[in-house]
Every structure is written in structure tokens, then in C-alpha cells.
Amino acid sequence: MKILSKLLVLFTLLVSISFAAEGVTVDSVTKDSATTPKVTEATQISTPKKQAVWIKLEGDVDPAMYEFCARAIGEALDKKPDYIVFEINTFGGRLDAAFDLVDTIMAVKGPETIALVKKKAISAGSLIALACKKLYMLEATTIGDCAPIVQGGDGTPQIVGEKIQSPLRAKFRNLAQRNGYPELLASSFVTPELEVLELTAKLDKGTATERDTTLIIEGKKFAVLDSTEKKFWGSPKILVKEGELLTMTDKEAEELGFSKGTFKNREDFETKLAIERKSEVETNTGEKIASAIAAISGILLILGFGALYIEFKTPGFGMFGIIGIILIGIVFFGQFAPQLDGYFPVILLIAGVILFLVEIFVMPGTFLFGIGGIACMIIALIMSVDTTNIPEYVPEAVETTFDATPWLFGLFFVLGSAAIALIIPIAASKYLIPLLPEGWTPMLKTDMETAVAPTENVQVVSIGDTGIAKTFLRPVGQASFTMPDGSTKLFDVQTHGEIIEAGQRIKVEAVQEGHIWVTRA
């Protein structure tokens, strides 16, 4: 009995030691598991944040947008970011500019290109969006409908034929294959004849490996399936009806495999992609001017050619010809404006001088070109102001409340330059121009006290009298009339906007308040 009791005590002791050891083990595991989240959190904090460069593509897709995008991508690559984000908001535009823009985006190596639809990516905008490796959308946005259209003979928009649709459809397929978008649905952006169906069925039905499978198929291909296959797939879901183009909301784009996610705002998007460092490429002055000219280029061309037509219908060369050339020149200038950024003050200054010379020597008295010249010079002066290079000198009291340095010295610089610009012409007209030889100065050298009017009293001229224009009438000039006694006298005359060359015969229409109104005889 003593032996049995000793064995029982020994067994009890061993069991208690075992439980104690097991308790220590459990506590140790619990402690380790409790510290695991701390290690994970530390790992997450040490994860490097991403850098992104934002490029906004808004407005019409045109050569100006392509020029901006090409320059912006070059600047973005210099910063070596993780992402280049294209913020898209456009109804589309020119197909050639869209193709150039897409090829430029596809050629980007290194950073991941991401499209974020801000409001809409319609027509060429959808093509640009699919050129990026990933697509995201903000809430309540749309993407799709890229059928190329032209204006028909009756003025209504019409979808172009297969010759244009075929390469555009191939471009969408290429982008879908390259970036992993649904290929058939991408083609339905372009082709209204394409019907797209979604088929859903269960594989290994009734077994442990039962699963759903989905197939996106063209409507024409589903129609030729046999009855067994149609029974297996069941009733199809129509994704795109025949005669329609695919246009998706943000939720539909995510469900159909185009969008990788939908966000409320830009901040949520940046948080999701762990973007901490970011910058944005801004449009420069040349690109803004090019975009503004492109928006009204049609109107400028119509007005320009209309002015030239009027000029061809009138003798000589006058105001309408100059206006027509200027308007058409502005349209062509818009094509090169992005490359001329930084030279606009000089260009405007030269344009202002040219307009002044036109006012003085070609179209005196119209004031139109003179006002235009002054406007060009003022704008050139404002654009040339660089407040960063102006020395700072402003009271401390002002500095502590509001940094007025750029405004004060910018205003001082402009006013000082304007004063100098006025003093120099006045001094030149008073002391330098009178020294020029006869025929080389536009100013009169005759003293006003001894000046004699070169024309006679208009009362001796009557309605119906004929004469000869001695100078160009634009519309003001001088003409000579033969008096009843056979003498010839010179008079100031003017037309009702008609331009008459020197040497042409004229006829008096009216004599009113000291003015002689004439027309071509």
C-alpha cells in the first residue's frame, strides 16, 4: 500500500508539472501573438510612400493638348516618379491628335501610367484612358462612346464608314490586349453594329468544386450555338445592344473589368495608392494661347476669308485686306504657339510696332491699328515683368501683415516703364523727327502761324460735280474739281467707307456741314 500511495503521489506530481509546463507554453504563445500586430504595424510604417506626377487633360483633344502632354510627360520622367496620373475630363476631339497622344502615353517606360476620370472620358477621351496601364474613376463619372463622326450635308452628325472605324477598332483592341481590358467590350466603344452578351453558368454543378463561369460573347456568335449549348448557358444578359455604343458609369466600368476602383475624390485616390509626394505639370502661356486660338479658329478663318473677299471686290489694298491677313495669320500662329513660349513679349512688341506703322503710313486716321498697337505693347510690358528679380524693399510693418512686395514693385515697374515709353516718343517728335530731311518725316514742319490750308471753301462745290481723286480715299483724301471759270481747285473729300484709288473720277453725293461726300463716278 505504501508503494501504491507513493506511486500515486509521484503520478500526481508529474501531471501537475506537465500542466504547469503547458500553462507556461500557452502564455508564451499568447504573448508572442499579442506582439505580432506591433511588428506588422512597424513594417507597414516603414513601407516607402509613392511619388506621383499629375497631368490634367481637360477640354478638346487637339494638337495643343498633344503638345502639352508630350512636354508634361518629359518633365514627369525627369522626376522619376512611381506613377504618372492623367486626370481626364473631355468630350473628345480630333482623332489624329488622340492617336499621337495615345502613342506617347504607351511609349512611357518606368513609371506606371494611371488614368483617373474626373468627370467624363468620352470619344477620344476613352481612347486616352485605355492607353494607361490602369484606370480609376471618381463617383458619378462616365466613359465610352468613341465612334468617329463628321458633319453631314444637312448639318447633322454622322458616324463615318468602315475605313475609319477599322483602324480605330484595332487601336482599341491593341490597348485592351496590352493593358488587360475586356477586348470585345472595348471594340463596342466604336462599332454600333456590335451586340455584346454576357453568359453565366455553373461548372461541376452539385459537387464540392461547383463554381460560376462567365463568358462575354458577340451576339451573332451566340445565335449560331446549338440548343444544347444554349441550354447550358441559359438566358444571356445584354451588355451592349445592337445599334448602340458602350458608355459606362463608374460602377459599370468597375463591374465589367475596366476600372480598378471608384473614389469619392482625389484625396481618397491618393490614399489608396499610398501617394505621399506629388506634383503637377502646369500648362504654359504658349499652350494656353494655342488652345484658345484652336477653340475659335473656325470663326477666325470665316472672318478672315470674308475680309479678303471684300478686299478683292474693292480697288486697291486697304483695311479689309490687312484684317483678313491678320486673322488668318493668327490661326496659323496658334499651331506654333507652344514652341514660342517665352518669346511672346518680344512678338507682341514687334506686332505693336508694325500696327503703329500701318496706322501712320498705310491707314492714317482709322485709329483701329493704333489702338491695337498700344494694346500689344501694354500686354508685352505686363508679360515682361518678373517680380522675382526686383530687389525687395518694403516696411517691416507691411511684411508682417501682408507680403505686398511683388505688387508694389510690379506696379512701380509698370508705371515707370509706361512713363518712359511716353517721354521717349514725345521727346523724339519734338527734337529728333523734325531734323529728318523733307519726305522722310510724317510730321508737318510748317509753323501753324503761317500755315495755309491746302483746300478751298466747300461752298463752291455742288451735288453732281465731278472731279479726280488726287490721293487714295481711305475713306478720307483730297480731290480736284474744275471750276466754271476753268480753274482747278483742291478739296478735302471723303467716301461712305468706299476706298477709291488716286486718279479715279469721282462725283459729289452731298455737301453737309463743311464735308464733301463723294463716290466713284
Q: How far apart are CA 339 and CA 109, in angstroms?
A: 25
pLDDT in the model for residue 406: 63
Helix (H) or strand (E) holding 16: helix 2-46
Residue 91's pLDDT is 92
Sign, Cα dihedral of 88, 94, 100, 103 = positive
Query: What is the chain's alpha carbon radius of gyration, rounded to the nearest angstrom?
Result: 40
Residue at 182: amino acid letter: P
Burial class of 406 by CB neighbour count within 10 A (0 to 12, 13 to 18, 19+): middle
Residue 472 · residue 493 · CB < 8 Å: no
Whether the CB-CB separation of 387 and 409 falls below 8 Å is answered with yes
pLDDT at 403: 60
pLDDT of residue 32: 40
Report the alpha-carbon distance of residue 86 to residue 429 in Å, rounded: 56
> Is 183 within 8 Å of 177 (Cβ atoms)?
yes
What are the start-end ranges of the H helices in 180-318? Answer: 183-187, 219-223, 227-233, 250-255, 266-272, 285-295, 297-313
Length of the chain measured in residues: 521
Q: What is the pLDDT along the chain (521 residues), one digit of tens a residue?
A: 444 444 444 444 444 444 344 443 333 333 343 333 444 444 444 456 899 999 999 988 988 899 899 999 999 999 999 999 999 999 998 889 999 999 999 999 999 999 999 999 999 999 999 999 999 999 999 999 988 877 666 667 677 777 788 889 999 999 999 999 999 999 999 988 899 999 998 887 778 888 888 899 999 999 999 989 988 898 999 999 998 999 999 999 999 999 999 999 999 999 999 998 889 998 887 888 888 888 888 898 899 898 888 888 776 667 788 888 888 888 888 877 777 766 777 778 788 888 877 777 776 666 777 788 888 888 777 776 655 554 454 444 444 555 666 666 666 766 776 677 667 777 776 777 677 666 565 555 555 455 444 445 677 888 888 999 988 887 888 899 888 888 888 888 888 878 888 889 999 998 887 788 899 88
Beta strand pairing call for 196-203 and 211-218: antiparallel
Peptide linkage before 475 cis (omega within 30 of 0): yes
Calculate ∠ Cα 429-430-434, nearest 5°. Answer: 75
Measure the CA angle with vertex 150, ends 145 and 155; round to 5°: 115
Bridging pattern class, strands 466-469 and 149-151: unpaired
Going through 80-235 in order, the beta strands assigned E by DSSP cover: 83-90, 112-122, 134-138, 142-144, 149-151, 157-159, 196-203, 211-218
What is the distance between the alpha carbons of residues 220 and 201, in angstroms, rounded to a whole number?
19
Q: Measured in Å, how far apart are the chain's first and last C-alpha atoms?
A: 156
Residue 373 is predicted with a pLDDT of: 81
In one letter, which amino acid is 386?
D
Which H or E element spans position 2? Answer: helix 2-46
**Which residue, among 125, 120, 156, 168, has the nearest Cα to 140 in the 3D structure?**
120
Instruction: Tell me how far apart the alpha carbons of residues 332 and 336 are, in angstroms, rounded to a whole number.
Output: 7
